[in-house]
Amino acid sequence: MAIREHPVVPVGDVLARLPEEYVRLAHGEFDHDDEEYAETVRRIVTDGIGTGAWASFVFKRSFTGAIADYTVGRALTVFRRLLARESSAHWTFIVHTRDRTLVGATPERHLTLHGGTAVMNPVSGTYRYPPSGPTLPSVVAFLADRKEADELCMVVDKELKMMARICERGVRLSSVPLCRVKLLDSAGVWTCVRRRS
């Protein structure tokens, strides 16, 4: 596909033009139920990560559904809500063809190149919010957890190696902020690895 045009429009301008309609999900389901997913994760941790065979692993779980009483306006409403609420996605998209519409948001952006600076933002660890909400002692305990610290060091090491391969010199770790995963009621440690040309 050849791209003929590539306009840049501020997100606020796009949101102002998109509809806000009632949307109901029909036939929504995960590809793996809770028990199956938990068992697979347990096996990965016990047989793979626990034995040292695997160091970094993400097991995908997809939720799919259809928009009830579909209209393009309802698809645009879903796109509007994703665009307004999900700030860490690499790509929030809507693709409309004659017979199909795809709406979604990809996982967080992994690599950004802007103005001669390459930035990687890998995520490490997951602090699950307690039912009553996050507390300072539980966040501090999460940050002090040896397993989480080791995982963060492993992720940083991998990202530094990748950046060293694509950059000439000057790769550095600039920050390790705690970032909220907006729609999941959890937080992770994001590593910021930079290289300025």
Same domain, yes or no, for 98 and 169?
Answer: no
pLDDT tens digits along 46-60 = 887 777 777 666 677
Instruction: Return the SS3 of 118.
Output: strand
89 and 150 in a single domain? The answer is: no
- Say whether both 99 and 144 belong to one domain: no
Domain boundary among 69, 89, 105: 105
Q: Look at the chain and report how many structural domains it folds into.
A: 2
| pLDDT single digits (tens) 142-190 | 888 888 888 888 888 888 888 888 887 778 887 777 766 654 444 444 4
Residue 180: the pLDDT is 65
Q: Facing residues of 196 across strands?
A: 117
Residue linked to tokens 């690895």: 193
Show the CA angle centred on residue 178, arms to residues 42 and 53, nearest 5°.
30
Q: Are residues 92 and 141 in the same domain?
A: no
Of the chain, the end-to-end C-alpha distance in Å amounts to 32
101 and 15 share one domain: yes
32 in a structural domain: yes
- Domain hosting 191: range is 111-196
Rg (CA), the chain: 20
Phi, psi of 45 (to 5 degrees): -65, -45
Residue 95 and residue 116 in one domain: no
